Amino acid sequence: MILVVGLSHRTAPVEVRERLSAGAEALPVVLSRLASRSELREVMFLSTCNRVEVVALASEGRADDALRAIREELASHGGLAQEADLVPYLYDRRGEAAVTHVFRVAASLESMVLGEPQILGQVKEAYDAAVAAGALKGMLGRCVSRAFSVAKKVRSETAIGAGTVSISSVAVDLARRIFGDLSQHAVLLLGAGEMAEAAARSLGKGAKELRICNRSFDRAAALAGAMHASAVPWEQLETELVQADVVVTSTGSRTPIVTHAMVKRAMKARKGRSLFFVDIAVPRNVEPEAHGIDNVFVYDVDDLEQHVAKGLQARHAELDAAQAIVMQEVSQFLAWTRGLEVQPTVVALRARTHAVLFAELERSLGGRLKHLGEAERAALAQMLESATNKLLHAPSTKLRSKAESEEEGGDARELAGALKYLFDLPEIASGKGEPGGSEQSERSAGPGRGDDKPAADDDDGVRH
């Protein structure tokens, strides 16, 4: 059974989400711990600024154990003494609800900014990391891969992704609402990754001055060159806080970069001029206590949610169409998984038929037909292969068709049992979604593998 356990901007505040997030360094460790649990056959870990989720395939008959194992590992990863401290923020999905959730997340129907494109790249990165770790290989891998195709279909057949709205653009819009015309104000971007680039593009040439500060000066300089901005060394950050009016932070640091003490010193030099932070990083880049300093305003990613709805009416109008696509694709995927339930019987029947016919052929070739040459022997073998395929095609197709029908699934199991009894077939483990067997291999790609390539990661950028 496919499972999802996680938390999002809808269930947990940023101070909880940031404890469970995992950057490039922590991700292999988290995946390794999850993959080592016997309760889980496959697993993927997704971490963004708005959600942290474990998507898993439970070991046969151990769904409840698998859910408990995931909660334990999440609590341990978050440094929580007790699993109970995390439970109030968590949601879990099973079976069809889990598949639906995975498809909706990839299609950006669960995002804070409906239709934003970044989430698909993040899911692909999580998928690639899990595959590289050997934690994703069978049915769950095909489920996530299918989600890529679903997301692409939603974006191509609806206007859910119309425009360029993203967390970064919402941050810039918020700055404009507070300051009005930014042409008289200096903006500092802290970070030079994907989110910083998106913010820079949203700003365009609207700011009086745009400066970019990043640990890697070369990355800051490259982005600055593309955006007609100025790059500044990391060591000058505190000096830059004295000059800037708006600071947008989006680095991948695990600890705050802008401290309360740093802001207090900068404000003394600013002589009371207001300083506005939009912190779209998770974990947060700005210490929350800085908000308590006079004339300092700190907005984190959760504060942006109330500003998201404006201007998105057109996207919400497309929501029903997008949801209809998702549900249709979920139905097709579940039909495919039901077909896998009878696949061992189909493979066993083919193996039994093949073994009997070729045993008789070998007996004949060693007796009355031993005078035949290699060409004639090969022709007989090919004839038996063809006969096996034609003989078993109709029963195999009809059995799978019944299995894929939700209404007739029970009939398919009865028919599979009858075949096992009549042909004395051996018991074969289901191994749903695992490659193996000639007929299984024909279907192993599942319903529509996604072929999109993952986006390149940014060293200092935070993905949302």
In this model, does residue 176 exceed pLDDT 90? no
Check residue 462 and give its pLDDT: 43
| 447 close to 336: Cβ distance less than 8 angstroms | yes
| From 36-45, 125-134, 222-231, the region with the lowest mean pLDDT | 222-231
DSSP 457: P
In this model, does residue 30 exceed pLDDT 90? yes
Check residue 405 and give its pLDDT: 72
Check residue 107 and give its pLDDT: 95
Residues in the chain: 464
Do the domains 2-163 and 167-307 sit in the same CATH topology, yes or no?
A: no
Q: Which of 146, 141, 115, 109 is nearest to 128 (CA)?
A: 141
Terminal CA-CA length for the chain? 28
In this model, does residue 317 exceed pLDDT 60? yes
396-429 b/e with 16+ CB inside 10 Å = b? beebbebbbeeeebeebbebbeebbeeeebeebe
For residue 450 the two structure tokens come to: 């996604």
Better pLDDT: 292 or 23? 292
SS3 call for 230: strand
Q: How far is CA 335 from CA 120, 314, 409, 426, 431, in A?
A: 24, 33, 10, 25, 16
| From 31-35, 65-69, 137-141, 195-199, the region with the lowest mean pLDDT | 195-199
What amino acid positions are annotated as catalytic residues?
49
In this model, does residue 455 exceed pLDDT 90? no
- Per-residue confidence at 60, pLDDT binned at 50, 70, 90? confident
In this model, does residue 407 exceed pLDDT 70? no
For residue 301 the two structure tokens come to: 């990613």
Q: Which of 353, 354, 345 is nearest to 440 (CA)?
A: 345
Better pLDDT: 396 or 219? 219
Q: Token match 């901007």: residue?
A: 9
Mean pLDDT of the chain: 84
Check residue 236 and give its pLDDT: 95
- Per-residue confidence at 309, pLDDT binned at 50, 70, 90? low
- Average pLDDT over every residue of 394-412: 72
| 213 close to 190: Cβ distance less than 8 angstroms | yes
| 357 close to 387: Cβ distance less than 8 angstroms | yes
In this model, does residue 408 exceed pLDDT 70? no
In this model, does residue 291 exceed pLDDT 70? yes
Question: What does the radius of gyration of the chain's CA atoms come to, in whole angstroms?
Answer: 28
Find all residues with CB under 8 Å of 400, minimum gap 6, and list them. Answer: 339, 342, 343, 346, 412
For residue 11 the two structure tokens come to: 């269930």
In this model, does residue 158 exceed pLDDT 50? yes
Q: Token match 């947990």: residue?
A: 12
Domain 2-163 fold is Beta Polymerase; domain 2 (3.30.460)
User: Distance (Å, rounded) from C-alpha 86 to C-alpha 94?
Assistant: 19
* pLDDT per position as a tens digit, 367-402: 888 999 999 999 999 999 999 889 888 888 877 777
For residue 124 the two structure tokens come to: 């692909």
User: Distance (Å, rounded) from C-alpha 138 to C-alpha 432?
Assistant: 8
* pLDDT per position as a tens digit, 228-240: 899 999 999 999 9
User: Distance (Å, rounded) from C-alpha 306 to C-alpha 112?
Assistant: 10
- Average pLDDT over every residue of 24-30: 88
| From 89-98, 111-120, 162-171, 455-464, the region with the lowest mean pLDDT | 455-464
For residue 290 the two structure tokens come to: 């800085």
Alpha helices (H) along 215-259 = 217-227, 237-243
User: Distance (Å, rounded) from C-alpha 224 to C-alpha 218?
Assistant: 10
* pLDDT per position as a tens digit, 322-355: 999 999 999 889 888 877 777 778 888 888 888 8
User: Distance (Å, rounded) from C-alpha 155 to C-alpha 167?
Assistant: 18
Domain range 167-307, CATH class: alpha beta
Better pLDDT: 431 or 181? 181
SS3 call for 94: strand
Alpha helices (H) along 405-429 = 409-422
- Average pLDDT over every residue of 90-117: 93
Domain ranges of the chain: 2-163, 167-307, 336-443
Q: Is the peptide bond before 447 cis (omega within 30 degrees of 0)?
A: no
Half-sphere exposure of 35 (CA within 13 A, CB side): 18
